[in-house]
Structure 1
Amino acid sequence: MEQAVAECVGLLGAVTDREWEGVRAGRLEWDCRETAVHIAEDLIAYAGRLAGREQEAHTPFELSLEEGAGNAGAVRVISAMGALLAAAIRTAPREVRAFHPYPFRSANREGFAAMGVAEVLLHTHDISEGLGLSYEPAPELCDFVLTRIFPHVQPGPTPWSTLRWATGRGELPGRAPVTRWHWNNNLVIGTERLTLQGVTPAAATDLSTVGDGGFAWIEGGPIEGTRVGAGLVYKQYEDGVHRPEWGMYVLVRREDGRAVGAMGFHSVPDGAGRVEIGYDLVEGARGHGYATEALRALSAWALGRQEVRTVVANVERDNLPSQNVLARAGFIQVAEDPEHVTYELR
């Protein structure tokens, strides 16, 4: 957050003596002055929601600059509001989520960080276009945004060109122009004892190697099955076929915020409305009903979608604990072969 704001303030602070009012900011309807104020408004709005733990709606306040505050004043306000959002992000516990309307009505601290960085990068670009300035943010900032709130966008030749294309501000060879767009915070599904937290491409990259994906795991986790599944998620992202709701979820205990396992779909539902599900638990979390509880919740969510008629699970013939989980969750055995047993929930 600090880096994005520093780049913005450094660039715009050098041209505060120029006329901003009445100069259209890139493709926006706002002028450059209005766009600069909008950056500050977004930063403090995000800080207020995250710090205030807002759950149902925006925090009801507005930002206004003092009468007579010039362009330099607007830049100072951007700097201050960026510092407030950075402080709110640093001090918010990982499990805290606050209101954001799209697409699932909440975001965690990482989501608010990515949204804040996106607002700064994109609108600094808009102002730069209006004023005829050259601007290209650090690639790692663009990658930070793309791998957290644009999980549905296939990586392109460079992170900055991809982010500009994804937000209707540029073109990419071989891809149609974007006229309508949105970012995508991760989905979280709650149960009595758990939250199923959608894994972003950034978390999947980390989990697929030796990292923790940003989660605090119980001893022994994450296990190999989770790492393999995370690698598949990132491969789908690279191939441009990842749809985040149909990816992986980490199972986090409400009581202590510790991750105990993972569960998710192998791909999007097929043309017949079938979607396959899989799961694993860290050994120390087994025997407590967590897998059954999570499976019931995630299956119910899937079956509540218009495109799904059947949730399918394939397990090894000798994996009796997993078969018992499926039976307790209401799945029915429908087929078997020498190696696997297939269960369905309709």
Structure 2
Amino acid sequence: MRHMGGERVTEAVASCLALLRTVVDQDWAGVKAGRLDWNCRQTAEHIAGDLIAYAGQLAGRAQHDYVPFEITLDEGTDNQGHLHVIETTGALLTAALRTTPPDVRAFHPYPFRSANGEGFAAMGVAEVLLHTHDIAEGLGVAYEPPAELPEFVLTTIFPQVRPGPDHWRTLLWATGRGDLPGRPPVTEWRWNNNLVLPTDRLTLQGVTPAAAADLRAGGDGGFEWIDGGPFQGTRDAAGMMTKAYEEGVHRPEWGLFVLVRREDGRAVGGMGFHGVPDEEGQAEVGYDLAEAARGHGYASEALSALSEHALARDDVDALVAAIHEDNVPSQGVAVRAGYVRAGVEEERTAHEERDMDRELRLYVRRRAAANSE
């Protein structure tokens, strides 16, 4: 899976310009842009402002806030001039994306305080597509971007949105700009960049629906893997996540994470949850490593970090890992990460009421244990 963020930004800007050039002679300043409070000219300036802001975040490696600058167009800039600025700022974001290493993250507030290049690309494409739609609606013309562009946005920064048969209508619905049969209107929305959890030697990088689909299909998910990776368990977990996404029940913090080694940026394994916590506040974890990465403590290090993050939430009381009775190394990973073998009664309940395989042994880490460390 080759990251195509820069190409997608270029395609989105080209789509925007192709439409707006057909209405460049209309009065943009005197017409509201769709449902926005801005007029069409202000909305065009906003598109350019977002594109240059995202380029600035990446180029400046901003970590704690926005780079303190804004774009200002010269007084008297006409509609054609606004399009020229959109084209220019789009090219600058594309250049920033192409020259930013894949492990770089920069500040963005929604929702985990940072985004990688792919996230900034998807946000840029979203701003271009949605505000081109707003301008087009205000000026009374139809706009339909290439289908791969809203699909890129949805599978990168809208992981919580159940996909529909039409990516463009789904994106419009998800951002309060349209209706979808059988779904309630959206009045408030935020996109979701992927979550990344750091450890001493690793980063646990949340997998997007696009990357999960690629992993399930036999690809690399956009990661550079060590020899022998990814292991089959990671591909199976990606399939589970893809199914949850397609059913509209995937939540980013409860999906799959890829373990990336800091020293060389190579992926060594996968780890994540089998779904959101149940009514009792319990969630199940799973993990595997490529064979070449085993024996170095990576899995225990990652599982400790992921468990601490999850158990800090108010809606989680316990995490469980179901491990085959013969898999002594995996049992050791769980124990080193603070898990203990479940009691006889709890394990019996898991076998009889939760349909856990009889050859599996249950390990548990509870909130109380996390809070006492």
User: Hey, what does 1:262 align to over in structure 2?
Assistant: 270
Consecutive unaligned residues of structure 2, counting only runs of 5 or more, are 1-8, 352-357, 367-373
Judge which range, 96-105 or 329-338, deviates more.
329-338
Consecutive unaligned residues of structure 1, counting only runs of 5 or more, are none
* 1:342 to 2:350 alignment: no
User: Hey, what does 1:241 align to over in structure 2?
Assistant: 249
User: Hey, what does 1:200 align to over in structure 2?
Assistant: 208
User: Hey, what does 1:274 align to over in structure 2?
Assistant: 282
SS of the aligned residue for 1:263 comes to: strand
Moved over 2 A (4+): 335-338
Instruction: Give the distance between the partners of 2:315 and 2:136, measured in 1 at CA.
Output: 43
C-alpha displacement at 1:157, in angstroms?
2.3
Number of matched pairs: 346
User: Hey, what does 2:369 align to over in structure 1?
Assistant: none
C-alpha displacement at 1:198, in angstroms?
0.3
1:137-176 equivalent positions in 2, closer than 5 A: 137-176=145-184
- Aligned partner letter, 1:340: L
Instruction: Give the distance between the partners of 1:266 and 1:340, measured in 2 at CA.
Output: 16
Match of 1:116 among 110, 124, 128: 124
Deviations 1:73-113 (A, max 9, x none): 00000000000001111111110000101100100000000
C-alpha displacement at 1:32, in angstroms?
0.2
1:10-89 equivalent positions in 2, closer than 5 A: 10-89=18-97
1:225-236 equivalent positions in 2, closer than 5 A: 225-236=233-244
- Aligned partner letter, 1:342: L
Instruction: Give the distance between the partners of 1:264 and 1:238, measured in 2 at CA.
Output: 18
Deviations 1:113-143 (A, max 9, x none): 0000000000000000000011000110010
RMSD: 0.8
User: Hey, what does 2:319 align to over in structure 1?
Assistant: 311
SS of the aligned residue for 1:291 comes to: helix
SS of the aligned residue for 2:31 comes to: coil
Judge which range, 10-19 or 258-267, deviates more.
10-19
Identity %: 66
C-alpha displacement at 1:69, in angstroms?
1.1
Judge which range, 333-342 or 212-221, deviates more.
333-342
TM-score (norm. length: structure 1): 0.99
User: Hey, what does 2:3 align to over in structure 1?
Assistant: none
User: Hey, what does 1:134 align to over in structure 2?
Assistant: 142
Instruction: Give the distance between the partners of 2:126 and 2:176, measured in 1 at CA.
Output: 13
Deviations 1:146-165 (A, max 9, x none): 00000000011200000000
Match of 1:210 among 218, 222, 239: 218
